[in-house]
Amino acid sequence: MSDDISISKGIIEQLVDGKIDDDNLERLLKLPKKDSGRFFKYIEVLQDKVSWKDKILLRLSDKLYIVSKGPGIRITKCECGYEFGDYRSNWKLNSKIRVRKTAEEMKAVYDPTPAVPEAGWQEIREYFCPSCATQHAVEVVPPGYPIVMEMLPDLDKFYNEYLGKPLSDASSDWYQDKTSDTTSSWK
């Protein structure tokens, strides 16, 4: 009991595939402390699922990953292979967007009617992968609201200090939001 608990790759796969049963789920939730070996097994499971070979550094969302394209290049990549560019710039800027502005348009995604956001005060933004059309994100915000960078990971700190396995191209300037570089290049 005194050693670190280890969770099998099979269980992690079940979690990823949404096939885990309630007993195993409860077991995981009741661990006195999380199994420290989880991350790399998780990455293995994910790497097995994608068709491409780039090394997954982190899973951002269901089908979005930060991958390494070789030393000094870390990009956001869709499970389908589409590449959104440097992960430090919000990937949403390189996606396609559909905006629901009118009550009519919003009714298609909320039900019953009184639950629909108020047109003019709110709009619903849907962000798609330009290649596989996966809906990667949804924002329900007022018109004019800056697109939200949901997560900017500090990869090097994570790999160095939390996992104890520094990345080969570790450097201090990775952890910064470069989104505005993109927008400033637009106008």
Partner 1 sequence: MSTTAPAKVDTGDLILALDAGGTMTDAILVKPDGTFTVGKSISRKEDQQRSYRDSVADAAQSIGLTSEEVHKRLAADVYCGTGMLNTILTGDGRKVGLLVTRGFEDLTVMEGGLSYLGQSQAESLHQQLHKHTRPLVEPKNVLGVSERIGGGCYLGEIHLPAGHVLIPLNEDQVISGTKKLLEEGCEVIGILFLYSFVDPRHEHQAKGIAEKIIKDKGLEIPVVCSADVAPVAKENSRLKSLLFQCFAAEQVRASLLDVEKAARELGFDGRLLTLLSYGGAVNMDYTRLYETMISGPVGGLIGAQFLGNVLDLDNIVTADMGGTSFDVGLIIDKRIGIAKSADIAGHRLALPMVELDSAGQGAGSVVWVDEYKRLHVGPESAGAAVGICLNYDRLTVTDINVALGYVDPNYFLGGQVKLDKELALKALKETVADPLGLDVYEAGAGLLQIINTEMNDLLRTMIASKGYDTHDFTMLYYGGAGPVHMYGFAEGIEFKDVITIPWAAGFSAFGAACAEYMHRYDRGTRALIPNQSGDDHLAKIAKDIHTTWREMEHEARIQMKAEGIDPATVTFRYGVSARYMGQIESFNTALENGVMDGPNDIQTMIDAFETMYSKVYPEGAKFGSAGYSLTDIHLEAIADKPQPKLLRHELSNPEPDPSAFVEKRDVYHKDGWVSFNVWEMGELKAGNTVKGPSIIRDPMTTVVIPPNKKMYIDEYLILHYS
Partner 2 sequence: MATIEKEVLNQPNMTAITAPTLAEAVEKRDRLTKATGHYYGVEELSLKEADPIRYERFYSKLHSAVLAARESARYVAASPGSREMGECLWGVTTAEGDTLAVSLGFLSHTAIFPVAIRYMAANNYDVNDGIEDGDVYGVSDGLTGGVPHPADFYSFVPIVVEGEVVAWAVGINHLMENGAPVAGSWATFSVDTFMDGLVVPPMRTGRKLKQESWWKAIWERRTRAATMNILDDKMRLAGCAMIHEATHKLIAEFGIDYYKQAIREVIEESRRRVVDNMKSTMVPGTYTGAAFRMAQYKGLQTIWSHADKNTLIHIRASVEPNEDGLKIDTEGTSRWGHHAYNATPGASDAAVFLGMINSFSHNTKVTAGIELAVQRNYPKGSILNPDSEFTSNANPWAQTVTLNNIGFGAVSRAMFSFGYLEEAFCIDGNWGAWQGQGTAEDGTGYGFTNFEWLGGSSRGAWCFKDGEPLVWAAWSQMATIGDAEEFESTVPPMFYLGRKLLPGYFGAGKYRGGPGQSAVHWCVEPGKHIGITRPNGGLSTTASVALGMNGAYPGPSSFMISARGTNLDEVNAKGLAPRDARELLEMTDSGLLKVDDLKVWKTDCPELSMGHNDLFVDAAGSSGGWGDPLERDPSAVIADLNSGTCPDYDFVNEMHGVVAAQDERGSWSLDVAATEIKRAALRQARLDDSVDVKDWWEEEREIVKNAAFFPEVGLMYNESLSFDKFRNEFTSFWNLPREFNVLEG
Least distance from partner 2 to the Cβ atom of residue 25, Å: 6
Residues whose CB is less than 8 angstroms from the CB of residue 63 and which lie 6 or more positions away in sequence, other chains included: 78, 79, 80, 129, 134, 136
Stretch that binds partner 2, among 26-34, 47-55, 67-75, 165-173 (CB under 8 A): 26-34
Query: Which residue among 8, 61, 70, 73 contacts partner 2 (CB under 8 A)?
Result: 61
By CB under 8 A, residue 32 contacts partner 1: yes
Q: Which of residues 68-87 bind partner 1 (CB under 8 A)?
A: none
Rounded to an integer, what distance in angstroms lies between the CA atom of residue 152 and that of residue 166?
Answer: 18
Given 10, 69, 138, 170, the residue binding partner 2 (CB under 8 A):
138
Query: How far apart are alpha carbons 158 and 135 in whole angstroms?
Result: 28
Cβ atoms of 154 and 170 within 8 Å: the answer is no
Where does this chain bind partner 1 (CB under 8 A)?
1-4, 22, 26, 29-30, 32-33
